[in-house]
Structure 1
């Protein structure tokens, strides 16, 4: 770990990670601890909000879609309890609308999964107003399409007919897409 990273983190190195995907949460927590952060984890909106209220951290990484609600609720709580908290929103379902909503309520940055600890650290420690560098391994067009279809499918409560109607797609075509593995 570089001394420069410790200087950038500052004296208050508390970091709250909120994600309902436990293996990812544990991996990211270990990686962020190695980078000098004092990490606390939460697996739900309720746990994230409780931690943010009791001990507001200096930094936070919040998954957008959690089993019990939206991670934006945690971001709002963090903004109320600690306005200077540097928040990064993570999600597996990248969309412009949610990115705009996250930034409007106070998130500094918005990263699509799979984001590694280096991406997260760079986003948390980026000077205010700096534009992040372009991703080194952006999602392919096929992957972006697949992610969008999955998102709409989930929003339609996994109803194939309704999803096909909203995507203006034939139902059988959608069923074939959903049956395949995700593209890289």
Structure 2
């Protein structure tokens, strides 16, 4: 009989982490949760995960990339998937360089993550989407990128984007982030 795969989830949204953890437990994984780099390194002293799911942006202003690096240093064969609501090419490349096997944009579910664990080797037959990105989507992504850079300071974000603070507040009110 084979052992259960051991999964480390590094996510600062505890409700999401617990739900994801329960879903993986139903699939036969032994799940351990951490919310930041310190908790991750402490857990690694007692467990040896074979899989990990890491959020890119953590609440304590630390980067999930630090966790990816620590997890990969602990076990080079660990399958690490990075999840993020702030997907960018730069962070995807860095995550892969630091040891992640896949990089997924949120929202992603257990099926997506498990498929990413199984899709470690790249493929040249990936299909390209013909859907172009709208100006509104690009604007929305840029606003959120700058919001994250400024630790969600509306006034500083508006200044950096060259728009009035109330205009930015109205744009954010139209499409609430949940």
> Which range, TM-score by smaller chain?
0.7 to 0.9
* Cα-to-partner distance string for 1:129-173 (whole Å, 9 max, x where unaligned): 246967xxx9x7445542431231131233334323433445443
Secondary structure of 2:81's counterpart equals strand
Q: What does residue 85 of structure 1 align with?
A: 78
Deviating more after overlay: 68-77 vs 110-119: 68-77
For residue 13 of structure 1, the aligned residue among 1, 5, 22 is 5
For residue 110 of structure 1, the aligned residue among 97, 103, 109 is 103
Q: Relative to structure 1, is the Cα distance of residues 57 and 144 closer, same or farther in structure 2, using a 3 angstrom cutoff?
A: farther
2:36 is aligned with 1:44: yes
Across the two proteins, how many residue pairs are aligned to each other? 173
CA distance in 2, matches of 1:133, 1:35: 27
Structure 2 residues without counterparts, runs of 5 or longer: none
Secondary structure of 1:54's counterpart equals coil
**What is the TM-score when the length of structure 1 is the normalising length?**
0.80
Q: Cα RMSD over matched residues?
A: 2.9
Q: Decide whether the 8 Å contact of 2:10 with 2:35 is kept in 1.
A: yes
CA distance in 2, matches of 1:145, 1:33: 38
**What is the TM-score when the length of structure 2 is the normalising length?**
0.82
Q: Any runs of at least 4 consecutive aligned residues in structure 1 with deviations exceeding 6 A, and if so which? A: 131-134
For residue 98 of structure 1, the aligned residue among 79, 88, 91 is 91
Secondary structure of 2:76's counterpart equals coil
CA distance in 2, matches of 1:169, 1:97: 26
Q: Decide whether the 8 Å contact of 1:146 with 1:182 is kept in 2.
A: no
Q: Decide whether the 8 Å contact of 1:93 with 1:148 is kept in 2.
A: no
* Cα-to-partner distance string for 1:71-105 (whole Å, 9 max, x where unaligned): 11111111111011010000111111111111111
CA distance in 2, matches of 1:115, 1:55: 26
